[in-house]
Chains A and B, each alone.
Chain A
Amino acid sequence: MQESLRRNAFVRELLSENQTLRLFIITALIFVAFSLLLGERFFSVRNLQSMAVQFPEFGILAFAILITMLTGGIDLSIVGAANLSAIVAALILTRLSGDGGAGVPLEATIPLAMVAVLAVASLCGLFNGFLVSRIGITPILATLGTGSLYTGLSYVITGGPAITTTQLAFIGNGTIAGVPIPVIVFIVLAIVFAVMLNRTSFGFNVYMLGTNPRAALFSGIHNERVLMRTYWLAGLVAGIAGIIFLARANSAKPDYGATFILLTVLIAILGGVRYTGGFGTVSGLVLSVLSIQFLSTGLNMLMLQLSGSSAAIFFRQFAWGALLLLVMVVNYYVEQRRQRST
């Protein structure tokens, strides 16, 4: 009896039921509210499909923020790394198989481009990991610097303008069994991250390191190695996001997705990831991504309906900032109450 109680408790902890449930309710409420407010325009197959192809872009990047935030850090360079990856892919695709290119068949070029992206993204991530774990620069500043570096390299490569190619459009617009490929990529990543964080010793160590790096050192956790791997993974995630950028936009440019940093930090905080490290779940993050997509589309429609002007798209930018602050203030009060009750 006692033992089964304890076992349940541990499982409960792994699922962190409460928070996930709360987020699920919030997400559902947002969805229902917009469906009621906007009717068919929001609650329709067409709109659901259109939302489904939008969220993976930033949703995938959010995994990079999740894992770095769990270690008590942050990766502000992910958008830079994603764009750099996209540009490298676009460059390889256009130079080798594009019009007036080397004439290499696309079947050979695409795998090559993918490998190149993974290599570039890995390098970006490993460099961050090196700066954070070996040199000891605060993650905020290290990744602020490398973010500028990666974006800068994109400008150096392209000279400024976008590189256009529709060669990956089949990924951006394609579906498998009716599900858009970007969504499948997002789901696969969610599963990989969930398994990695909950069921591997690396994931376990990420949580422990994020809670108390000193105790982690004294417990035999190889802190430097865990941090290296964390930032490397964040880089890889950025690379995958870069491919999705290219596949969806049919072009790669150095300054794409400038708002994604804010958006992914917002998603992480809304999803219950603690910015001091050690706490946060994939389920929370996924629900948070969905809420943000519902809000994004819903607010956009609502603003268009109300103001009718094109400026409505800027309202979202305002809303994201305001929402981030709101969530943090709510967390503040929740934490205060929790502390008072113990």
Chain B
Amino acid sequence: MSKIFRSNEALVAVTIVLLSLVIGLNNPTFFSVGNLFDLLRSSIVIGIFAMGVLIVIISGGIDVSFTAIGVFALYSTTRILKEFMPDAPIWVAFMIAAAIGLGLGMINAFFIARFKLPTLIVTLGTLSMFHGFLLFAIGNQIIRDVPPAMDQFARSALVRIPLERGVANLHPAILITAAAALIVWLLLNFTMLGRGIYALGGSREAAERAGFNVPRIQYFIYSFVGLLSGVAGMTFGSLARQANPQDIVGMELNVIAAVVLGGAQLTGGRGTVIGTILGVLLVVIASNSLILIGVPAVWQRVVIGLIILIGTGLPAIQARRAAQGGMRSI
């Protein structure tokens, strides 16, 4: 019993089921195909971001700049496409966005790995730097008439289920999220690099002594997160069919909340892909479906705040209890 409750995944899964039941019983449309597809669609972007943030948090760091990287990549890519290659296919757009994200991520990596600076303060700085640069040097107007490839992609569907009224569409971008999750899962569990990320989060000193090249691992982490953020930003724009330089930034908390809720701990060394997926689903359900049970949308930020506090408070209380027992052995 206590073992099951200690497993964060199980706890989050049970919460999702209970919450779904409560919402579903109050409002049966919750279980409709249309709503399920909507929930999945809302999970796409936050899911990609969450995979990047998961890696950072496992390594014992925190990144708040990924949203700025996302919107930077989206907006710049859209402008590049419009000006130089308006007919480029969508995959080219994603490649460019990924490359821009990678470049920005490497800037984070440079400051963190080279100078051993605290990740929160570095990424707070680059968040402002990237977003500021985007707005003053690249553009601050919303691009509504996006290149045709983006427009087309926005309208495509992976699964189309005709309903009584209209059609329920499952957007193919969900595959990007799935791929990101799969890659991160393989990376974390089956590569030495992935184990190095866990090792770094567990004990930096021990990781160095074991022979891990810690700066190189950090370079990888923050560059890879940049790449994922670029892809996530592009996905966001493709779904929204516009490139708004003020979008995405501000979403950090939702993503971090989802990852923390999924069992990753900011102290490092802990966190799983499955847990993160569940965390994303819970955050999306909680914020999308509040209205369905009569909670006004303005409560959304309150709910996110509470999720973070509960997600960090429970392990803190557990750790405190364990430490009280441990005082005896000092």
Contact = CB atoms under 8 A, between A and B. Distances in A.
A binds B: yes
A111 interface: no
A149 B302 contact: yes
Nearest to A255: B250
B293 to A, nearest CB: 16
Contact of B140 (A314, A319, A324): A314
Residue of A74, A141, A153, A315 contacting most chain B CB atoms (<10 Å): A141
A324 B308 contact: no
B118 A155 contact: no
B124 A141 contact: no
Given A141-B312, A318-B129, A321-B128, A155 B298 contact: yes
A259 B122 contact: no
B132 A147 contact: no
B111 A328 contact: yes
Interface in A312-342: 312-322, 324-325, 328-329, 332
B298 A328 contact: no
Contacts of A258: 250
A140 B266 contact: yes
B323 to A, nearest CB: 8
A141 B121 contact: no
A236 to B, nearest CB: 21
B266 A141 contact: yes
Contact of A325 (B62, B122, B250, B296): B122
B136 to A, nearest CB: 4
- Of the candidates B116, B140, B301, B317, the one having the most CB atoms from chain A within 10 angstroms of its own CB is B301
Given A137-B316, A156-B298, A262-B127, A315 B309 contact: no
A324 B121 contact: yes
Nearest to B117: A328
Contacts of A322: 125, 129
B124 A319 contact: no
A141 B260 contact: yes
A261 interface: yes
Nearest to A214: B330
Contacts, number: 153
Contacts of B299: 152, 155-156
Nearest to A74: B120
Given A135-B320, A145-B308, A152-B300, A316 B121 contact: no
Nearest to A324: B125
A189 interface: no
B305 A318 contact: no
Contact of A131 (B127, B303, B313): B313
Contacts of A328: 111, 115, 117, 121-122, 125
A148 B305 contact: yes
B309 A152 contact: no
Contacts of A315: 132, 136
Contacts of B296: 156
A83 to B, nearest CB: 12
Interface string B128-172: 111111011100100000000000000000000000000000000
A292 B121 CA distance: 17
A138 interface: yes
Interface string A301-316: 0010000000111111
Interface string A155-189: 11001100000000000000000000000000000
A87 B150 CA distance: 41
Given A145-B305, A262-B127, A324-B124, A160 B313 contact: no
A145 B309 contact: yes
B267 interface: yes
B12 to A, nearest CB: 17
A125 to B, nearest CB: 15
B298 A321 contact: no
A137 B312 CA distance: 6
Majority secondary structure of chain A interface residues (helix, strand, loop or mixed):
helix
Contacts of A314: 132, 135-136, 140
User: Which applies to chain B's interface (DSSP): helix, strand, loop or mixed?
Assistant: helix
Interface residues of A, number: 49
A207 interface: no
Contact of B302 (A153, A265, A325): A153
Contacts of B302: 148-149, 152-153, 155-156
Interface in B269-319: 296, 298-309, 312-313, 316-317, 319
Contact of A329 (B111, B118, B132, B260): B111
B308 A144 contact: yes
A286 interface: no
Contacts of B133: 318
A27 B319 CA distance: 45
B253 A148 contact: yes
B128 A259 contact: yes
B305 to A, nearest CB: 3
A269 interface: yes
A332 B120 CA distance: 16
B267 A138 contact: yes
B298 A146 contact: no
B81 interface: no
Contacts of A136: 316-317, 319-320
Contact of B132 (A261, A319, A332): A319
B231 to A, nearest CB: 23
Contacts of B62: 140
B121 A265 contact: yes
B138 to A, nearest CB: 9
Given A317-B128, A320-B125, 12 more contacts: A138-B316, A144-B308, A148-B305, A152-B304, A152-B305, A312-B136, A317-B129, A317-B132, A321-B125, A322-B129, A324-B125, A328-B122
Interchain residue pairs A-B with the least CB separation, the first 3: A318-B132, A317-B132, A321-B129
5 contacts: A148-B304, A275-B121, A317-B129, A321-B130, A329-B111
Interface of B: 62, 111, 115-118, 120-122, 124-133, 135-137, 140, 250, 253, 256-257, 260, 266-267, 296, 298-309, 312-313, 316-317, 319-320
